[in-house]
Amino acid sequence: MGETESSKKKVKEDLDGKLQLAAPNPDTLEELAVLCAKDPSPDNTFQYAFCLSKSTEEAELRYAITILDGLVKEGYEHQYDCMYGSATALYLLKDYEKARQRCESILRSRPESRLAKELHLASMAGEEEEQKKQVQKMTMGTVAVAALGVAGVVAGALLSKR
């Protein structure tokens, strides 16, 4: 998309802030769950699952993905919104690759979607951050092994002098 790394980071920071503010409160979730139980229509189910897709709880995010993906499979009329909700939940679970893939699916059919573009960029930035963390962990592990090796050599040299 021609975006620089710093602008992707900025988009990610902005989106993270928005999603933090959008986290549903327990009362809202309870109201929607009760409504969905009384009248399990696709629209009520969608409202409940879409609200869950912004939760701070891992189990609720996974449940939202299951419900929203089920609605897509059933041919629910608002499939774009279901896919966006699933992508959001995946993003919050830090499954950036799957979130990015969902956004790419949305953007193939709706290239003008500002929300999908924003989530796509943030997912790319998240993937890059995770890759950097993995490289740092591997580097630290290599340094630790090298330090142990040097310590072993020094200790061996000292013991051999005795």
Predicted TM-score (pTM) above 0.75:
yes
Distance CA 37, CA 144 (A): 55
Q: Exposure string (b/e) for 94-123, b if CB count within 10 Å is 16 or more?
A: ebbebbbebbeebbeeeeebebbbbbbbbb
Contact in structure between 74 and 42 (CB atoms under 8 Å):
yes
Strands (E) located in 7-124:
none
pLDDT tens figures, 14-68? 999 999 999 999 999 999 999 999 999 999 999 999 999 999 999 999 999 999 9
